[in-house]
Chain A
């Protein structure tokens, strides 16, 4: 199996996991920002 010219699953895994982390951060950040149950500012 080749993934953009890469064949070692560990190397492919490194890239895939990095993109999964970014996807998680983007989704979590958006959901967190839109949540209606957010805390109020502490000040």
Chain B
């Protein structure tokens, strides 16, 4: 990758200014944090705009921009349906169906974290522990993938690959400092600041891309004209059977269709509903009206970021074909890089030679950094709270040394520092090019394990603890089985199937291998919840009638 378009002096100045503002917001958070609950939740400390931008920036990580932007370059504008799902499920359904009840129940029960909320609604220490452990075990994989993706792109684009270790550690330290000292208030205000940078960066990129292509219609037509079915015979497009070009949806039921629809669209779209780090944003709101008002800014922000990333990703094929005579996937593969580098490479090239190009490239790099750390900061805070607050409270309660919840801010801070160290270690252990898939796995697993129980918790007057446990266990086990033994995309994370059977998945040639685990795990988790509810309610009524008789 060439770094001709990056003026390191410009980028250095912009980064220095960014770090100063970030740390100042950390100080602001520190000064406004007087109790553990303020450290964890910051209730009433943020208005609708801060909630909207914080929710959006946390939701949309570097994964959305470079991970799924790269996937749009390969799979085309079909990925735009993920933009719709992000908006409809991740925003409208999340805020209107889950947001209000989460906020009201959280406040009524005095819950400070997602695991705390689930535990208190079900009056179950086991459910609180399960949720906290799920967060501690699975969330670091997602967080490390986001961190690794951000640092990788930054190092490669700037040409500072020799300084990879330094960039990784510097980024980790900046995030750790403001999260550990400033708590959720610093996290949310920094999210909003970072969201503003992301918004400007992505809108500029969209405008410049269509400008290069001669306008919206001309650009889209040029992309449509690239496709010729015979292209499969000569070029590795990175797609599967059923692909119909970058401006057409894949054939229904084909391998390409299954990959796009089940992994990218459903896995990430539905998984957004059960993100613990996002549920905390609902619990931070002063009232339901603020939540509803935050939809205005949140929706515009989300459309600008993901709509731009996916559109630009697909259109990059026209640019690379014009400039290099190759498709995006071909060109980036030829450079020895993965799909996560398509968007960064495209930005680097398209801005070279235009006025203020170095400023725009630096702005994009900063947007990338913002997208990564806004998500990482929220994840570290959530993982740290799951360990330093939820599990510690349960441990002390069990020992009889504490009644009620832990009030120790310092313990949360210590756990958050440890989590940050763990993430840095993970970055060295994880395979490359997995941002989009790691995101999909984390969101898919949390949806399969928690969505039915979360919905039941919010809408039932008498939540059934046993039914929730059945649903969580079934959702988790089924998801893990399909992710590790059936789906080729996710089995790479832990190649147990290959170790046992000698092949990566059980049915490598069937369409099941392209189908995301969520497609099986979530319906089964819902069915398990429904069946268990009927069974346990019937049992309760039988016991009650026997006793009254």
Contact = CB atoms under 8 A, between A and B. Distances in A.
Are A and B co-members of a single complex? yes
B83 to A, nearest CB: 5
Interface string B56-80: 0000000000000000000001101
B219 to A, nearest CB: 7
A5 B92 contact: no
A19 B96 CA distance: 18
Given A29-B292, A29-B294, A39-B288, A22 B299 contact: yes
Contacts of B295: 25-26, 28-29, 32
Contacts of B287: 38-42
B78 A14 contact: yes
Nearest to B301: A22
Interface string B72-108: 0000011011011001100110001000000010010
B217 A14 contact: no
Contact of A42 (B218, B222, B286): B286
B78 A11 contact: yes
Instruction: Give the interface residue-count category, chain A.
Output: 20 to 34
Nearest to B100: A39
B300 A22 contact: yes
Contacts of B44: 43
Interface string A1-27: 010111110110011011101101110
Contacts of A8: 244, 247-249
Nearest to A30: B296
- Interface-central residue, A10, A18, A42, by most chain B CB under 10 Å: A18
B534 interface: no
Given A5-B224, A26-B300, A33 B219 contact: no
B54 interface: no
Contacts of A33: 289, 292-293
Given A17-B88, A19-B303, A5 B249 contact: no
B26 to A, nearest CB: 26
Contact of B92 (A19, A21, A32, A35): A21
B307 interface: yes
A11 B248 contact: yes
Nearest to B43: A43
Contacts of A40: 287
B221 interface: yes
B293 A29 contact: yes
A42 B537 CA distance: 34
A35 B287 CA distance: 14
B430 interface: no
A41 B78 CA distance: 43
Interface string B288-327: 1100111110111001000100000000000000000000
B440 interface: no
B216 interface: yes
Given A33-B292, A42-B287, A18 B84 contact: yes
Given A5-B217, A22-B300, A29-B295, A11 B289 contact: no
Contact of B216 (A5, A21, A43): A5
Contacts of A11: 77-78, 80, 247-249
Given A8-B247, A21-B92, A29-B294, A41 B87 contact: no
Interface string B214-235: 0011111111100000000000
A41 B48 CA distance: 14
Contact of B303 (A2, A7, A18, A29): A18
Nearest to B296: A29
Nearest to A38: B289
Interface string B235-267: 000000000100111000000000000000000
A38 to B, nearest CB: 5
A14 B84 CA distance: 6
Interface string B525-546: 0000000000000000000000
A10 B81 CA distance: 9
B83 A18 contact: yes
Contacts of B88: 17, 21
Nearest to A5: B220
B100 to A, nearest CB: 10
Given A11-B80, A32-B292, A43-B286, 18 more contacts: A5-B219, A5-B224, A6-B220, A7-B224, A10-B78, A14-B78, A21-B299, A25-B91, A25-B92, A25-B299, A28-B295, A32-B293, A33-B289, A33-B292, A33-B293, A41-B287, A42-B286, A42-B287
25 contacts: A2-B217, A5-B216, A7-B247, A8-B247, A8-B248, A10-B248, A11-B249, A14-B78, A14-B80, A14-B84, A17-B81, A17-B84, A18-B80, A18-B84, A18-B303, A22-B87, A22-B300, A25-B300, A26-B296, A30-B296, A32-B295, A33-B289, A33-B293, A38-B289, A43-B44
